[in-house]
A and B are shown apart, each in its own frame.
Chain A
Amino acid sequence: DGGITQSPKYLFRKEGQNVTLSCEQNLNHDAMYWYRQDPGQGLRLIYYSQIVNDFQKGDIAEGYSVSREKKESFPLTVTSAQKNPTAFYLCASSDGQGAGGYTFGSGTRLTVV
């Protein structure tokens, strides 16, 4: 069955270390997205990519970087420049057909100590 795989589900890192979150999809979707959720707040867009080798900043891109070298993969790196990296991170993909074409990963909960 097609879907999105985010790994790991829980991740712990020491402050000052970069960490990369994985997101893989086998849906042949062109578009992929990264969202962040803080306790008690809604999900906010970090980065998105509409096509391979291209990506755009979302609303809260500072301290993050992404790459889109393959259609299936959209890894997110949380750099040491991100002041408050502890959060829940959600990856999603879309076939470009509006909200109906969205598929969601299960998310990664990152804790920085």
Chain B
Amino acid sequence: KNEVEQSPQNLTAQEGEFITINCSYSVGISALHWLQQHPGGGIVSLFMLSSGKKKHGRLIATINIQEKHSSLHITASHPRDSAVYICAVPAAGNKLTFGGGTRVLVKP
């Protein structure tokens, strides 16, 4: 079973700060997902990555397959970035295992 750990569990930042969220997993994978969930809202898929780095606006996701680690960075954070960020990795039988999520609060 692929164990997934996210850190930190909670994060508070001032508007404009650089934010990093980490995701570590125990079993080698082919790809990893980063998802965003706004308070009371639904899930939005941010990235799927299998190597290197991807960038979308102020969001950057990186993955190190050898280290079994991925990071999600938010540059120039804004209050609308306040959400729960979740990573997900493959498990047996083409299922996914999800991290517990990182709750981000960006204060103006």
A residues contacting B by CB (< 8 A) are: 6, 9, 31, 33, 35, 40-45, 48, 50, 58, 90, 92, 94, 96, 98-100, 102-107, 109
Contacts and interface: CB of A to CB of B under 8 A. Distances in A.
Contacts of B90: 98-99
Contacts of A6: 42
A28 to B, nearest CB: 16
B48 interface: yes
B104 to A, nearest CB: 14
A94 B45 contact: no
Interface residues of B, number: 27
B76 interface: no
**6 tightest CB-CB pairs across the interface, nearest first?**
A106-B42, A99-B31, A107-B42, A43-B98, A100-B31, A99-B90
Secondary structure dominating the interface of B: strand
Contacts of B100: 40-42
Given A33-B95, A43-B98, A99 B88 contact: yes
B20 to A, nearest CB: 20
Contacts of B93: 48, 50
Interface in B81-103: 86, 88-90, 93-96, 98-101
A107 B43 CA distance: 6
B99 A109 contact: no
B33 A99 contact: yes
